[in-house]
Structure 1
Amino acid sequence: MRKAATHSLPNLLAALVLTCSGSVVMADTIKIALAGPVTSPVADYGDMQFVGAKMAIENINAAGGVNGNNLEAVIFDDACDPKQAVAVANRIVSQNIRFVVGHCSSSTQPASRIYEEEGILMVTAASTSPEITAHGHQLLFRTIGLDSLQGDIASEYIVNQVKPEKVAVLHDGKQYGQGIAGVVRSELSAAGLEVAFFEQISTEQQDFSELINQLQTAGVDFVYYGGYHIELGLLLRQSAELGFNARFMGPEGVGNSAISSIAGSAAEGLLVTLPKAFDQDPRNAELVQAFIARNEDPTGPFVFPAYAAVQVIAEGIRLAGNSEPPDVADALRNNSFETPIGTLEFDAKGDLQTFSFVVYRWHADASKTALTQ
């Protein structure tokens, strides 16, 4: 694949349009739909994306826009629900919006089909299932890594560092949760670890005492959960109450400060795989302070990937010389981009060629300590 020069946000400063009289004017506004959960138990993950994307849009506009155009954010609530995501996608189509940053988890794939059919370019900053980019879509990209990578890193840590005797792998039955749980189960089994349970739990469930008793009776000493923080928080708290002392681990969907509110002291020692802490990168210090000045939290795992998603869309438009999604997609595939999450290059499927997940030890106060690089 041809790769041109690396491009960065400051190049957008040159994107002003001069009238024949020499005055500076802005042309049409380019709308970017920000699609994610607003009214949902996992609304925090939508907010992370909105915070990052809106900051990028404001910074790009302050630097002169893109090819003489300002960017405008339009927020849509997909509730992290596949059916509502389809309705949102159709609304985006009807409003003639040509770029999307979103969606959430299992809502991404059904929405992406509509965008591909309607010629809309989407960059997801939060959806990690490999299945999403496995259908040959030409207008679909992501600025986060895959569960196949995240699951490998988790499994390697479990095998080489935790060394449990008997493992339970639980999941929420959804594309994201079940998908990464399946990767972990396969990797652990291949390494010779006994996976005694591979079970789905209900996201509506509040009482896990029966399941916990089963795990305890079976001698399980390690539990991996594929899903979100709500269910795992309850599992952690109720396990502590019942004297079940197994170690727990989950993916980035559980790495939310709310899990400490749910689990309390039982959250201490939880293992979590998360994207690298981009807010700790000294190169992002000024941007971190900009978030803090607005009372916004820059530490969420999807904040900086969402910022980068808007940035690559903007640079793709600039490089293409127009806002036609197929031309922008070609620019994204054939260039590399300097962003707050690193130098980004996309493969033929629209996935990042490199991305880093890190294993963290979670603390009861919602802070975390990196255990891997």
Structure 2
Amino acid sequence: MNHHYDVIVVGARVAGSALAYELSKAGFEVLLVDKSSFPSDILSTHNFFGNSVAMLRKMGVLDRLLQTGAPLYKRAVVQFEDAVIDGEFPEVAEETECLCVRRTHLDHILFEHAASRAGVTAIEGFRVTDVIRKGNAVTGITGVRRNGEEERFSARLVVGADGRRSTLRGLVGSERILSVPTDFASYVGYFEGYEQEGDIHAELYKIGDKIGIVFPTSDNLHVIGVMYPLNDPEWGQRFASSPETAMRDLVDSGFTDSPLPERLRKSSLVGSVKGLLGYDNDWYQGMGEGWALVGDAFSFKDPAVGQGMQDALYSARILTGVLTRYGNWGASWEEMARTYQSLMEETMISRFHMACQFTKNVPFTPEQRAVNRLIAAHSEATRAFLGIYNHAVEPQDFEHLIGSLLSGAPG
């Protein structure tokens, strides 16, 4: 086996496999490694809005993802207290529909797609233990295969695509630039027999100090997530004791003025309910001498805003673009790092700040309630609001539209 590559990618789920695919298209020799084997599950939200569906189509994996039974949908119902925002996502990148694929299918399909590319060598069951350095520059990795065999690989660049608790990020010492801790605990389960009225759609509820999220997904299931305040010891104990019972009780008591309780009562849990007891919304330094970060390793954000999947794809594209722009990487690390950080901020930072606002357990103000009702009452505002999620509309343009509607002036 070759032991020297242009790029080593540590982590082979969405961000890592997408990056290996993009790099191979650009002509780079890539080693893609992951400590897991596929298919395997991981706790996450896994929805793709239209902008990222367009990227999946361009990658050539969309048809195979659709074969998992995940339905395309274009409607969302968002309930903020007494305001119900019901509409369709605007078209973006010639796509109007969204897609939510279970991670057991999604990661496996993307991994196989990347591994089949000429120029990509893929190893499952390889745990990275350290990085190799020459002076200040990272030049490779050391790790252990599942059979205990130790191995070393070198590369011009090592990329961490290994998620929220990235090992590679810790080994290279990336600086955490922004961090906002959540006020919520999150629990997620998959349910069959969950029935919606009208067209298939995504659901988001923020009522009092509880949040609920529903997406139609693969295998004729719906993935349902609930969030409650971390500082609520009663719910913490109940979820620790019996997660499914606690989830159903929380929905029954916390979302009484919504259709969620009745729909959940008629559905059955498949598998188990899994939880995440707190997390930080983080934004890191994305590149240094011989290393870079993509996906959640670069920036993790509150799952309620559903940006993780598309940010994984965006970061893979952006990093590949930066690498192809520069010939002599060794002489250009500082400039490349500035360019990469700037492009990531330009693409992702506004939604990161949106997630940081959503992640705090703060009641809607009277002014926010009025705006929510305004959004619900105007189809143009509804489409613009949903367009923030799929990058069809920038937050500042949405704010301008709302200001115009409030003042009665033309948008």
Give the shorter-chain TM-score range. Answer: 0.3 to 0.5
**Higher-strand-fraction structure:** 2
Q: TM-score, normalised by structure 1?
A: 0.33
Question: Hey, which of these two has a bigger chunk of helix by percent?
Answer: 1
TM-score, scaled relative to structure 2: 0.31
